A and B are shown apart, each in its own frame.
Chain A
Amino acid sequence: MPKVNKHKKKKSTYYPDMCFGLCILLIVSFFFHGINVIVNFYVSVISAILFDYVGCKIIKHKFRVKNCHAVFIGGLISLMLPASAPLWLPVLGCAFAVFLVKTPFGSLNHAPFSSVAAGVAFLSICRPDLVFDYASAEFGTVSIARSLSQSTPVVTAVDLINAFIGSVPGGAGMTCAVAMIGLLFFVLLRHPKSFINSFFFLLTCFVGAIVLTAAETDKFFALNSMRIILVRMCSGYTLCMAVFFVTEEPLSPKKKGRRIFYSVMMGVVYIILGLVSEFEDAGCFAVLLTNAFWPVAEKYIFAPVRSKKEVTAVESAESLT
């Protein structure tokens, strides 16, 4: 009779679940943007899988498609780009994400930066004209992509219902707030611990939106102010970051307190970048900067606390003996 290892590590379902979420976004974006999105999505996913395979062959690691990481990279990159993006754009993003962020660090659990965020950030630097090509007949050159920091008159021009259902300019899969909120509930059901990240990230953004709105309009609790705050929350990469980036398992800390700190940190960086960055939406840079600064925060904020606790534990143990 074969021995059963009781302590066998449970396989994470995080990336497969996120890929399921991407499929929902794909359907919604097909409804708004047509067949172009589906073509971009499939080309991007196939190229990401191919690059991952080549990368694994180069570094002589076992290629695993079942963990769905490559699908996640390809799918999310294509959905973060506008529907009008040329085919080579997501392919370039995937090549960067796989060959320069995932492969050199060995495996998906050890990369210090989010591959997708790095891919989109690279594209944003190389071709901002294509990545933020959000002009539409309805809004002209006005974009609500710069969600939290967009000046109030621009946000006022956006209809809240349109912002909810996704009939606004933006990344192909990023505009439909209803779908994103549905995915947040999906995260809550499937990965309740990860939902802590989403919740505190959104809470930080919400506070940021209130402060920014109050700074521009004197009224805090007026109905119009609330509408502006909601539009701010629904636009840009805000909800996408809450669902896909802040929850990303290999990068997110495991303990509750650290999760909260990490999420708040990402939210704060996102708000600040929204104000100072020259990019239309600097969400990906916010993810990268949080990834960069998190080890520093962990070392200088959490590690001293832990070592202090350990010292007191040792002292109390010594006093008992």
Chain B
Amino acid sequence: MQWFFDMVAAAIYAVIVQNLVFNGGYGITEAVRMASKPKKLFSTAGMIIYFSTVTAVICRILDFLPQIEKQNNTIHFLIFFGVLMIVYFVSGALSLIILRPNKRFMTKLSMCAMNTLVMAIPLINHRSVSTLGESIGTAFGSGVAFVVASVLISVGFTKIAHNKKIPEPFRGTPVMFIYVALLSMAVTGITGTGVFA
């Protein structure tokens, strides 16, 4: 039962306290892109949660093997990357066989898998020596945190888009960056200045 509580606590921590998108900048490009297409947000987030959770779990299990545990950071990363690639290609192949989707779905799948947020989670779990439950919780929570970040950015954009007073040089991308920066700064109030590595 302990692993379940670890998982829930880690998930809550990842969503509320350690929003990786705002505090680490992981997956911020995708979050901003998703913010301009709010209707597709949950589908994308679902894929991100899937890849991050599956990869994190496999990586953490491998991490417990003594042969892998004693390796240095670089080798660990190589292994994690290999796991992600296998998960990606297997998922891609399976969805091709089962769903026979169109090209756009496969493009979306690859954009979600080839994401800094997805790759960051196994590395963070490895650094913080998480348990298996915590690893699952962090991976799932980070996906949800991605949704939170995208929704916040998206709703903010809608409001900013109606603002006719924004000076011409700031209109569009520049004011979006500043808005995201202010959101990120606000979230620092919860996280503190320590968690951004």
A contact set with B: CB distance below 8 Å: 59-61, 100-101, 103-107, 109-110, 112-113, 118, 121-122, 125, 128, 273, 276-279, 282, 284-286, 288-289, 291-293, 295-296, 299
Contact = CB atoms under 8 A, between A and B. Distances in A.
Q: Which 5 residue pairs spanning A and B have beta carbons closest together?
A: A285-B189, A106-B165, A288-B186, A278-B192, A59-B167
A277 B192 contact: yes
Q: Which of B152, B158, B170, B188 has the most CB of A within 10 A?
A: B188
Interface majority SS (helix, strand, loop, mixed), chain A: helix
Given A61-B167, A112-B179, A291 B186 contact: yes
B12 to A, nearest CB: 11
27 contacts: A100-B182, A104-B178, A105-B160, A105-B163, A105-B175, A106-B166, A106-B167, A106-B170, A110-B166, A112-B159, A112-B179, A112-B182, A121-B185, A121-B188, A278-B193, A284-B189, A285-B186, A285-B188, A285-B189, A288-B186, A289-B186, A291-B186, A292-B156, A292-B186, A295-B155, A296-B151, A296-B152
B9 interface: no
B187 interface: yes
Interface residues of B, number: 31
A166 B169 CA distance: 46
Contacts of B182: 100-101, 112-113, 118, 288, 292
Contacts of B158: 295, 299
A103 to B, nearest CB: 8
Contacts of A106: 163-167, 170
Nearest to A59: B167
A271 to B, nearest CB: 13
A60 B186 CA distance: 29
A113 to B, nearest CB: 5
Contact of B189 (A110, A286, A293): A286
Interface in B138-188: 151-152, 155-156, 158-160, 163-167, 169-170, 174-175, 178-179, 181-183, 185-188
A285 B152 contact: no
A288 B189 contact: yes
B190 interface: yes
B189 to A, nearest CB: 2
B41 to A, nearest CB: 13
Given A100-B182, A106-B164, 4 more contacts: A59-B170, A103-B167, A104-B167, A105-B165
Contacts of A110: 163, 165-166
Given A112-B156, A112-B179, A118 B167 contact: no
